[in-house]
Structure 1
């Protein structure tokens, strides 16, 4: 029987999720590339398989319980029981509080928090059965508060509390749970933010880079590298932590 570990990365069609899926595959894991639409995952899957790795595309709305259960069952049937889960799926519905609709609030909470809850709950039984598991949740520096992001900030702060609780509950079963809180990362999502506020993306990138201590813009691979550490055997004594990957000190 193969001892290859199986990972699920949500929101893996592009950006941080795609880079993370490719990194975990290069680490030797079989990877389920999960996003809302399986077809959108094909580029990520192709990149992994072209490099000699193993991956499948899976379509699911992480905020829908039935779809999550079906997706995890599909992964288990095709690749094996997942023992590494990266909850990366996310959406933005930015607006000032007085303009923010209930749908904007619910959509962000549904994908980020409900999605992480459903995926973690469904995958943890496989980890407990195996006596080994890794859950990595994507938070954000916005968890510390950010104008125009009451929904996103609340969801990302909630992700940190969720992570710490998973660490406490699952640690005795050999399962760790940690969170990564990126600062500015150059992705399609942050490009959309620049467009929304009417700033050319190159100018937006430069301003964000200038605001860091290292004077560079973060790339998806910077987050993937951190996920790789948390997902590794070597990180067995690290759990319930929030790692800010932001190019500068964060409080």
Structure 2
């Protein structure tokens, strides 16, 4: 069965957390809005349907046969066991879901550094507010969230450098993307902070070296970061803590 991923064309965004899991597992999938003859129109038609029983509010969402699953953490909770990227133990699976939901919270705060007032307004319409929000984010929120995940890695009783258990899970892949995105959007802040989070940096390197991930990163399927996505590089927002 071919999975169908629906997300905005041209940006990594939240959809990238799902792509990384699919790519690492070598799963067969299509990125619907990037498919000739399908595109964003097909995604919007499904979202705006007046007959579909399980309509998603916003992308990303995944179609698996007749099943439609929305929200990144929910999608990964669904895919994890199917792709071999989730713990077998039920208690650990719930913990993994909690970690992914915490990443979801963090990504929302990343987004709000450049859109602190309203998503309907351009960045240029809220630049001063963005500067204040980004300063708080860089000074307090990056250390808060990364410090938490650093402790999760350090306190994993199974070791091996993973967030949970002794093998790679979708949480590890998502933490890789978090570090990638922060390095793009806040390079000055990350150069200052990374020394404090050696376990996260080792995990990032471990994920990056996985064969399927390395091949994906080198392929045209991996979209470049840009100023339309979640992680955006605005030099005026990147300050040393």
TM-score range, shorter-chain basis? 0.3 to 0.5
From the two aligned structures, give the one with the greater strand fraction.
1
Of structures 1 and 2, the one scoring higher in RCO (CA 8 A, sep 6+) is 2
Output the TM-score relative to the length of structure 1: 0.33
